[in-house]
């Protein structure tokens, strides 16, 4: 995909909407990870709901982000996360290795999209290092889920994955908040 896929946006509005979105994503990831760590040891109705909810929430976040930023690359993430929600629902009918394969494939592709978007935004907004790291780590974690899937007896690693992603969203939200305060101070002078 080329950098031309993104439509130029007002960086002040983009930073504000990203800050709100990143805080919400942090809260969701923390709550999801805590709940999953408590109940995600076997495939049952609660686990299936949580497994489908995570990528479904990613779809909603990407829709909000795409509408706010008009970045067309995010539509790729919407499609990928929608497929992941469906794939995870289907995989849960099989076994834990199937779930890890579906989650791992999603983590890789979604991580690549996140990495691409963060690199694009770095030019306009700066300070996207946390999102760049998050995208890269998602790719590596996804590869790890795929590599260990055939021997897996647990899905507990998903809670760590969500927790780390949530921390990166929090760091990015705080960074955008601080950058916004600095910009307001500079404008007031």
pLDDT band at 24 (very low <50, low <70, confident <90, very high): very high
> What is the structure's pLDDT at 122?
87
pLDDT band at 132 (very low <50, low <70, confident <90, very high): very high
- When pLDDT is averaged across residues 164-187 and rounded to a whole number, the result is 79
Report the mean per-residue pLDDT for the chain.
88
Instruction: Give the dihedral of Cα atoms 105, 109, 114, 120; nearest 10 deg.
Output: 170
Is residue 8 in some structural domain? no
Cβ atoms of 120 and 71 within 8 Å: the answer is yes
Residue of 187, 155, 186, 173 whose CA lies nearest to 33: 155
Is residue 9 in some structural domain? no
Is residue 50 in some structural domain? yes
Is residue 18 in some structural domain? no
The number of folded domains in the chain is 1
Higher per-residue pLDDT: 42 or 179? 42
Is residue 60 in some structural domain? yes
Which residue range(s) make up the domain with 97? 25-188
pLDDT band at 23 (very low <50, low <70, confident <90, very high): very high
pLDDT tens digits, residue range 47-69?
999 999 999 999 999 999 999 88
> What is the structure's pLDDT at 56?
98
Is residue 10 in some structural domain? no
Is residue 35 in some structural domain? yes
* Start-to-end Cα distance in the chain: 41
pLDDT band at 70 (very low <50, low <70, confident <90, very high): confident
State the pTM of this model. Answer: 0.87
| C-beta atoms surrounding 44 within 10 Å | 11
> What is the structure's pLDDT at 94?
84
How would you label 127-145 residue by residue, b for 16+ Cβ within 10 Å and e otherwise? bbebbbbbbebbbebbeeb
Is residue 163 in some structural domain? yes
pLDDT band at 6 (very low <50, low <70, confident <90, very high): very low
Higher per-residue pLDDT: 123 or 29? 29
Residue length, the chain? 189
């Amino acid at each position: 995909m080329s950098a031309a896929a993104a439509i130029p946006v007002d960086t002040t509005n983009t930073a504000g909407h990203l800050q709100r979105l990143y805080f919400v994503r942090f809260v969701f990831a923390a709550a999801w990870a805590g709940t999953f760590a408590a109940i995600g040891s076997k495939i049952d109705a609660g686990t299936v709901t949580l497994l489908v909810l995570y990528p479904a929430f990613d779809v909603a976040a990407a829709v909000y982000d795409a509408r706010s930023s008009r970045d067309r690359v995010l539509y790729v993430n919407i499609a990928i996360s929608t497929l992941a929600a469906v794939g995870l629902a289907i995989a849960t009918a099989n076994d834990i290795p199937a779930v890890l394969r579906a989650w791992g494939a999603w983590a890789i592709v979604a991580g690549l999209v996140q990495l691409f978007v963060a690199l694009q935004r770095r030019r306009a907004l700066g300070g996207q290092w946390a999102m760049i790291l998050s995208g890269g780590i998602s790719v590596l974690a996804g590869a790890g889920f795929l590599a260990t899937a055939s021997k897996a007896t647990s899905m507990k690693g998903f809670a760590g994955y969500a927790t780390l992603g949530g921390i990166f969203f929090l760091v990015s939200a705080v960074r955008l908040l601080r950058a916004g305060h600095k910009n307001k101070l500079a404008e007031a002078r």
